[in-house]
Structure 1
């Protein structure tokens, strides 16, 4: 994997891959928590390949163990396709707080992926 990659793009491709029932991360309970919210997602999403998907999956599992709220945010945004603004409204906090949490989660996944 290219180490100069844009983690946001990597996670968008992983989210499409995970949403296609490839992921080992149990994200359905998180989806149930956002039931009734329409995703902003594109109809046709570019997916990562299985090797990258499995590797990112393992990083997300580690995130879930250490920072479950940030994992929930990644899944809501990248897998389910819920906008950050909608997530912020649902959690009754600012968009800025959600963006900071997203950056922390992306940093965690990126850091763990570099050790694999």
Structure 2
């Protein structure tokens, strides 16, 4: 299972470094004057992965513009979720839930395309829930 936050963070670094050739807006709507990440040493995805994720981001833009703007503001420009929440006059919990939806959309898009990313070996997430056998072993040990 991919860690979609890590996937999108690497894609955002790649897109911010002008590797994509896609002209993402330098300032998301309503966030003019806030400083972006800059060109710090953020881990980037490779061009093939970046272009594939760009396609999914383009679909998101056509589907729900506000979610697209959240994605660009946070992952490409580097605006904190708390700052985005302040700008939208809502709680940061609300923004985090919206971001989860965005990450699910991109993950679903990649799954529908049956895509294996080059960065998959670096962005795998450990399963949170223990298997039934592990639970039985722990209960038996008590």
- Give the TM-score of the pair, scaled to structure 1: 0.88
In 1, Cα distance between equivalents of 2:37 and 2:22: 22
Structure 1 residue ranges, 4+ long, deviating more than 3 angstroms after superposition = 29-33, 39-42
Equivalent residue of 1:97, what SS?
A: helix
Residues 18-29 of structure 1: pairs in structure 2 closer than 5 A: 18-23=15-20, 25-28=22-25
Closer, same or farther: CA 30–41 of 1 in aligned 2, 3 Å: closer
Q: Which has the larger radius of gyration?
A: 2
Closer, same or farther: CA 69–115 of 1 in aligned 2, 3 Å: same
Which protein is richer in helix relative to its size?
1
Closer, same or farther: CA 84–112 of 1 in aligned 2, 3 Å: same
> Which sections of structure 2, spanning at least 5 residues, go unmatched?
114-142
How much is the aligned-residue C-alpha RMSD, in angstroms?
1.9
Paired positions, count: 113
> Which sections of structure 1, spanning at least 5 residues, go unmatched?
none
Report the equivalent of 1:63. 60
Instruction: Report if the CA contact (8 A) 2:27-2:77 is conserved.
Output: no
In 1, Cα distance between equivalents of 2:35 and 2:59: 28
